[in-house]
Amino acid sequence: MRWLRMLGWTVLVLGIFWVAGRLIFAVPPTAGRPLETALPFDGTTTLGPRAAEALAAHPGQSGVVALPDGRGALIGRLELAAGAERSIDAMYYIWHDDESGLLLLDTLRDAAERGVRVRLLLDDNGIAGMDDTLAALNAMENFSIRLFNPSTVRNPKMLGYALYPLRMNRRMHNKAFIVDGAVAIVGGRNIGNEYFAFGEEPSYLDLDVLGVGAVVTDTEAIFDEYWNSAPVLALEQVIEGTGDLTDFEAAVAAAKDSDGAVELDAGNARGPAGRMVRGGAPPMEWTDVSVVADNPDKGIGKVDRDQLMIARLGKILGEVEARLELVSAYFVPGPRGSAFFADLARAGVEVSILTNSWEATDVPMVHAGYVKYRRDLLEAGVRLYELKPVAGMPQGHDVLGPMGSSGASLHAKTFAADDARVFIGSFNFDPRSAALNCEMGFLIDSPTIAGAMSNTLLNGMARRSFQPVLQGHDMVWQDPQPDGSVKEIDHEPSLGFGDRIAVYVLNLLPIEWLL
């Protein structure tokens, strides 16, 4: 019985430390905080006339243009920030302090110094090592930073997960960049070299959308809702002091001298954002666009299931009649999702799904979750494609480990239904996006964009993907070759004996809700 007494004492001591830790590192209150909202739209700004014309010529509609190129997506953000005259509101899950992140952050600082109001909402999970820099920027006039579900323990930050495990597992995965209430960029990209094909960094395949018109007002309203929500704390509530920009300025200077920055300037073909900043009107598709987003109270677990974004997307997907093409970097449909896609396929809908292969994924645990449903989907007639890594680039999970962030792999989250409407945003079809993370995106009525995505998936990405198929009871992987032939592989590509054991063990663990 001695071991029971020892266990009891251990539990008691740990409990005391846990309670003491929550008292010492309590979550600051937000009750009574003044409400802050977006600055009113001003038609006299450079971007204003374009937005005003859009609202007048296309009442209730929005102009959209896809941003598939990583470098162009970064240039667009930099040009919009440099041309901002009244406000910049940005929210992101990850903001790296690498070259692209530093360049964009420096452009926000320049905007604040010339009188633009900058509000930056960041998830605390994605700002490692940036406390000092963010504190200094937050101390500036016109620059405010808030954090979503931040750890009240800053070093080591992971201790916050031990003190508040449920709260800390709920993250804000949203991505939005709004300038002067006139232009918004929403999509799958975070801020960092790998999202923008910057320099020599192996990059993600990803997608953003630039929008003007009615959708900007709706996106701004969602930003305000998050900015004032209970899970969000002012940076000064969790990070002490006013920081120091000395290291930041040195790092920015180095970033400006980097090969990537030189290439960025050299290849700076004026995209839609740059043309708007210069008073132009770039070609856009005018159509109906809805912003679909989770209620930020999902971050504290106070949202009913029927209010979740997954429920709303389910209703949208439920209207599919002929074709569904889905791209999801981390695809773990769960029993209900698997049944949903399988039922569509059995009803005669052509369902095609692209996700990362074992070779390309940067989160092997998620791939293990996907494997559980692969056979059932194939038996129902769903076509699966597993993206191969780019030749000569490192594999994501080999480089950065099971919880890492990106090698040469897929990161986009989008679907096209019936070649008529398309969703582009942050939502992965996995349990974490469905139940834990806050997500958002644009739902666009656009045969043009939906058709382009369908063509990219079926005629482009399919040619650089493994396609698992069933031959009787056996599963084989068809591997398209550069010469047009197809090689068959009788086992999952690059999944060695040790990997198979790891996948099997991961499938036994009750962790799917966290994937």
Q: Give pLDDT tens digits for 9-44.
A: 666 777 786 777 787 878 888 888 999 999 988 888
Residues 174-198 have pLDDT tens digits of 999 999 999 999 999 999 999 998 8
* pLDDT more than 70, % of the chain: 89
418 is catalytic: yes
Active-site residue, from 96, 175, 367, 388? 175
Residue 411 catalytic?
Answer: yes
Q: Which of 96, 298, 367, 413 is catalytic?
A: 413
**Residue 473 catalytic?**
no
Is 372 or 454 the better-scoring residue by pLDDT?
A: 372
Crossing angle of helices 364-380 and 497-508, rounded to 10°: 80
As a whole number, the mean pLDDT across the chain is: 86
Instruction: Identify the active-site residue in 298, 367, 388, 411.
Output: 411
Location of structure tokens 């390309």: 360
Q: Which of 97, 106, 131, 173 is catalytic?
A: 173
Please report the domains of the chain, with CATH numbers, ordered by start residue: 54-285 (3.30.870.10), 288-514 (3.30.870.10)
Pair of tokens at residue 472:
């009787």
User: Which amino acid is it at 97?
Assistant: D
Residue 405 confidence class, pLDDT cut points 50, 70, 90: very low
Q: From edge to edge, which strands make up the β-sheet containing 62-67?
A: 232-234, 143-148, 117-126, 87-94, 175-179, 183-187, 208-213, 62-67, 285-287
**pLDDT tens across 126-140, in order?**
999 999 999 999 999
Give the model's pLDDT for residue 396: 38
- Segment 191-226, tens digit of pLDDT: 999 999 887 766 788 889 999 999 999 999 999 999
Residue 173 catalytic?
yes
State the amino acid at position 272 in one-letter form: P
Query: Which residue is listed with tokens 């139940």?
Result: 435
Query: Is 180 in the active site?
Result: yes
Q: Active-site residue among 42, 110, 418, 499?
A: 418
The whole-angstrom distance between residue 165's C-alpha and the CA centroid of its chain comes to 22
Q: Pick 9 or 419 by higher pLDDT.
A: 419
Q: What is the dihedral of CA 152, 158, 162, 166, to 10 degrees?
A: 80
- Cα separation, 191 vs 382, in Å, equals 34
Q: Which of 180, 208, 218, 419 is catalytic?
A: 180
Beta partners for 355? 386
List pLDDT tens digits, range 301-327.
998 887 888 887 777 766 889 999 999
φ, ψ at 33 (rounded to 5°): -70, 135
**pLDDT for position 90:** 98
- For residue 413, which of 341, 352, 327 has the smallest C-alpha distance? 327
- Structure confidence by residue, pLDDT tens digits, 469-508: 999 999 999 999 888 899 998 888 887 766 666 665 666 6
Angle between helices 99-113 and 246-256 (to 10 degrees): 120
Mean pLDDT along residues 147-172: 92
* Position 352 confidence tier, pLDDT thresholds 50, 70, 90: very high
Tell me which residue has tokens 């029993």.
335
Residue that is written with structure tokens 């953003």 in the block: 208
- Map tokens 């709303």 to a residue: 312
- Res. 169 pLDDT band, cuts 50 70 90: very high
Q: At residue 407, does pLDDT exceed 50?
A: no
**Degrees to nearest 5, angle at CA 119 with 291 and 203:** 65
